[in-house]
Amino acid sequence: QVQLVESGGGSVQAGGSLRLSCVASGATYSRPCMGWFRQAPGKEREGVAAMDSSGRTRYADSVKGRFTISKDNAKTLSLQMNSLKPEDTAMYYCAADLSVCTVVFGLLPEDRFNYWGQGTQVTVSS
């Protein structure tokens, strides 16, 4: 069993930066699938970034060049968010799965992940 806890959300002005962290307990990120998703009010949850079992990364077009997903250590996944825009405002969720996966064909869908955090709110004001 894996528990994920996100942190690092907050309120920033447009153009600012935030770094989200996701700490896992109960298992380590040896070669897992990992991802960040977000859900804005009134919208469906969408994939933001993913890292596959080989360390390859994939980003949504809307965040490409601004967000960076990384694995800081065996238990911590991060999302560095720069040049934030008001449309980035959402609840951000960390997700993980301990099976092998690949992002060669694109971002991984929600149902690819078995473990989810509770979310951390990001609010970007104009």
The answer to whether residue 65 scores a pLDDT higher than 70 is yes
**What is the 3-state composition of the chain as percent helix, strand, coil, each rounded to the nearest 5?**
5, 50, 45
Q: What pLDDT was estimated at residue 84?
A: 98
The residue-averaged pLDDT of 46-70 equals 96
The answer to whether residue 119 scores a pLDDT higher than 80 is yes
The answer to whether residue 93 scores a pLDDT higher than 80 is yes
Q: What pLDDT was estimated at residue 118?
A: 97
56 band by pLDDT with thresholds 50, 70 and 90? very high
Q: State how far the Cα of 50 lies from the Cα of 58, in Å rounded to an integer.
A: 5
Q: What pLDDT was estimated at residue 29?
A: 58
| Residue 113 tokens, joined | 């992940």
| Residue 44 tokens, joined | 């469906």
